[in-house]
Amino acid sequence: RCPDADMALNNLERFLAQSAGAEQLPLLLENRARTLEILLQLLGVSQSFSDLLSANPDYLDMLRVPLSRSPSPAEMQASLQAEVDAAFEDSAVLRVFRRFRQRQLLRIGANDVIRDRPLEEITRDISRTADVALEVALSTALRTVGNRFGQPHSQAGQPVSCVILAFGKHGGEELNYSSDIDLMFVYDEDGATRGKRTTGIPNDEFFAKVVSEVVRLLSAHTDRGLAYRIDLRLRPEGHRGPLARSLATTLSYYDSLGRTWERQALIKVRPAAGDLALGKRFVHAVEPFVYRKYLTFAEINEIKALKRRIEQKASQAGVSATEVKTGRGGIRDIEFTLQFLQLLNGGDLPAVRQRNTLLALQALERAGCVTDQEYLILDDAYRFLRKTEHRLQLLFDLQTHRLPEDAEELRKLALRMGYPPKADGSPEPRVAFLADYREKTEPTRRILDHLLHQTFVGESGAAEPESDLILDTNPDPDTIRSVLARYPFRDVQGAYNNLAQLAHESSPFLSTHRCRHFFASIASNLLRAVAETPDPDMALVNLEKVTNSLGAKTVLWELFSFNTPSLKLYVDLCASSQFLSELLVNNPGMIDELLDSLVLNQPRAAEELRKELSDLCHGAADLEPILHSFQDKEFLRIGVRDILGKDSIRATAAELSDVAETILAEVAERQAGPLEERFGIPY
C-alpha cells in the first residue's frame, strides 16, 4: 500500500541490516505492528527520513509521538536547552541543534503523512520548531559573546536586549520542510558593553558578533548536516547593511529609505525569539510605514514589475508550467495577490493585516476585497499546492518546487499526494493529479491577472494622479484642485464629489474597498472620456445618477478595467442622451441589459423580437409592465448602436419601428380573443 513499494522495502532492509535497527524489531511489531506500518509509509514517501532513521534507529521513538499530543514550544525549548547545557564541546552543541530539528521534523512528517493533519497545523509546528531553535541559539550566543565582551548597556546604564524578527513563511508561521528562514536582528538601544575583566565594545559590534554566532550554531555544516539555512538579506540595506541595528536606526531607515518591496516583506514580520516585547514595539512602530493611507499608482506598478521579473526568470528557465512555487498560478501568484490587496486596503482595514496567508485570505473575503468564489478557488489551490510542495521536499529534504518530468516519478508523487492506484474505470494517478493541478492553477492565475495585472495598466510606473486621487479616501483641497484642473470642469469640487460617489459601492452585498480598487484603475480613462463630451460637468452628474441607480458599481468598474471601449461608450451614453440616462435611472434593474448592450450589441431581426415578446407574455395576467420593460430594453440597445455610429438614421428608424410594430402586434393578438368572446366576430 506504500506509494513506492520498492523504495519502502529497500529502506526497510537498510534499517534492519544494522544491529541497532534490528534491536528495534520488537518495538515495530508491538500493537499489531502499528509502528511498523507507520515506518513503512514514511520509508515509501521520504528518502531523507529513511536515511535519517537508518543512521539513527533510536529516532524511531518519535513515530510514537503523533499518537498523542504534539509537545508545546515551552516543552521543546526546555528539552533543547537542557541538551545544549549538557554538551561540553562546541561540536557537540552543533550536533544537538541538528538532532533537535531532525527529530522534530520526523515527528511532524509522521503527523503529516500518516495522520494527514491540516496544513495550518503542520506549517505552524514546523515554524515553532524553528522558533525554539532560534531562542536557544540566541541565549547560547548571548552567553558566549557576553562572557568575552561583557553585557550590553544603554548610554543611561540600562541593560539592552535583542529580538530576532522572522520574515516570509517563517514570519507567517507557515514554514515548509526545507525553507530558508529569513531573519532580522534588532536590539533595544545604542551604547556599549560592561564587564569586570573586559574592555567594552559598542552595542552594534556586540550584537553583530551575536548574530554571527547564532548563524554559526544553526548553519555550520557538521557530520549531521546543518540545522537551518539562514538568510539575512531582508534586513535594511541587504548584505551591505550591519548585521544588527538598534530599534531607532531601523525605524529611521524605513521612514527615510524604505521601498515598496520592503513594505510587502514587512507584512509577514513577526517576533520569533529573544525580547518579544521589543519585537512587538517594532511591529507596532513600523505598521504606519507598511500600511500607509493608500497605495499609490506608482507603488502598484512597482509591485507588478517585481512580479513580472519573477515570472520572467521562471519562463526563461523553462519551468513556468511545472514550478509549484513561481509557475503560473502557483504559490507565489496567490501570495502576491493577497499581499497586494493587503497593502491596498490595510491602511483603513486593520483586520486584513494578517501575517499568515490563509488568515489573510479569510480576512480579505470578510472585508469584501475578494469575492466568495475567489476565496474558495484561492484557498483550495493554496492548500493543494502547499501539500504538493511538502511531498516534493519530503522526498530528499531539498528546497525544490518543481514537478518531476519522468512519468513514473509523477505517478509516485500522485500516490504520495493520496491519489488512489489505478483500478478498473479509474484514471491513472499521474493523469488525475495533473488534471487537478491545471484545474487549480489556471483559475488562480486568472484571478491574479484580474486583480493586479489587468488593473492600473500604466507600465511606466510613473505617477497617475487621477488614480491616486481615488485611492486617497480623504485628499486635501489642493490635491483635488491640482488633479481636476487638468480637465474642463466648471465646478471642480462638484466633480470630485461625483467621483467620490462613483468610488463608493451602494449595493449592500458588495465591497466599497473593491469598488474603489477597480474605479481607481479606470479613473484616468474615465476622466479623459468625460472631458471629451460637450458638457463634462453634466456628463459626470448623469454618470453618477445612472450608476447609482443601477447599483453594483463594482461590477461595472471590473468590466471597464479590461474593456476600455465599453467605458467610453458608457460615458458617451450618459453624456449624449438625457433620454437614455433617465431611462436607466428609472429602471435600476437594467444592469444586465446595459452590460449586454455594451458587450454584445448586435442588431435584431423583427421575427426575433416578436418571438421574445411572445415568450415573455405567455400566460401573463398583466401585460403592461412586460411591454414597458421590453420597450425600454430595446430602446437602450438601439440607442447604444446609434451613439456608436453603427447604424444610419434610416436603420435606426427602422429598428424603432420594428419595436413599435412588435408591441402593437402582441397587444392586438392578446386583445382579439377576449373581444371576440364579448362582442362576437365582426363581418
647's grid cell: 447604424
Residue 620 backbone phi and psi in degrees, to 5: -80, 140
pLDDT of residue 591: 62
Cα separation of 196 and 128, whole Å?
Answer: 37
Whole-number average pLDDT of the chain: 90
> Is beta strand 181-187 parallel, antiparallel or unpaired with respect to 230-231?
parallel
pLDDT per position as a tens digit, 498-519: 999 999 998 888 889 999 999 9
- The confidence score (pLDDT) of residue 447 equals 95
Question: What residues does 166 pair with on adjacent strands?
Answer: 183, 270
Angstrom distance (rounded) from CA 605 to CA 547: 30
- Of 360, 325, 358, 366, nearest to 341 by C-alpha is 360
What pLDDT digit, counting tens, does each position of 628-639 carry? 888 888 887 888
Q: What percent of the chain has pLDDT over 90?
A: 65
Query: According to the model, what pLDDT value does residue 309 have?
Result: 85
Would you state the pLDDT for residue 682?
Answer: 83
- pLDDT at site 625: 84
Evaluate whether 428 touches 421 at the Cβ level (below 8 Å). no
User: Residues with Cβ < 8 Å from 313, sequence gap 6 or more?
Assistant: 326
161-165: average pLDDT: 98
Per-residue pLDDT at 355: 97
Checking if the pLDDT of 237 tops 60, the result is: yes
State the average pLDDT over residues 396-414.
91
pLDDT of 592: 65
Give me the pLDDT at residue 387, please: 96
Are the C-beta atoms of residues 109 and 394 closer than 8 Å to each other? Answer: yes
Pairwise pLDDT comparison (364 vs 561), residue with the higher score = 364
Q: Which residues contact 543 (CB under 8 A, 6 or more apart)?
A: 498, 502, 530, 570, 571, 574, 575
pLDDT at 462 over 60: no
Q: Does residue 596 carry a pLDDT above 70?
A: no
Residue 307: φ, ψ to 5°: -65, -40
Beta carbons of 591 and 551 less than 8 angstroms apart: yes
Q: What is the mean pLDDT of residues 419-439?
A: 88
Residue ranges of alpha helices (H) inside 397-452 are 407-416, 429-448
Q: Quickly count: other Cβ atoms within 10 Å of residue 98's Cβ.
A: 20
Looking at the chain, the whole-number percentage of residues with pLDDT higher than 70 is: 95
Q: In the prediction, which pLDDT does 629 show?
A: 83
pLDDT at 193: 94
Per-residue model confidence as pLDDT tens digits over 96-131:
999 999 999 999 999 999 888 899 999 999 999 999
> Is 319 or 505 the better-scoring residue by pLDDT?
505
The band of 342, judged by pLDDT with boundaries at 50, 70 and 90, is very high
* Pairing relationship of beta strands 270-274 and 181-187 according to DSSP bridges: unpaired
* Dihedral over Cα of 53, 58, 64, 70: its sign: negative
Rounded distance between C-alpha atoms, residue 7 and residue 12, angstroms: 9
Indicate if the alpha-carbon torsion angle 564, 567, 571, 574 is positive or negative: positive
Distance CA 324, CA 215 (A): 29
Q: Given this model, what pLDDT does residue 310 score?
A: 84
How many Å apart are CA 371 and CA 374, to the nearest integer? 5
The partner residues of 153 in beta bridges, in order of sequence, read 159, 192
Residue 66 has pLDDT above 70, yes or no: no
pLDDT confidence bin for 492, thresholds 50/70/90 = very high
The pTM of this model reads 0.87
User: To 10 degrees, the CA torsion angle through 60, 65, 67, 70?
Assistant: -150
> Do residues 180 and 229 lie in contact, with contact meaning Cβ atoms separated by under 8 Å?
yes
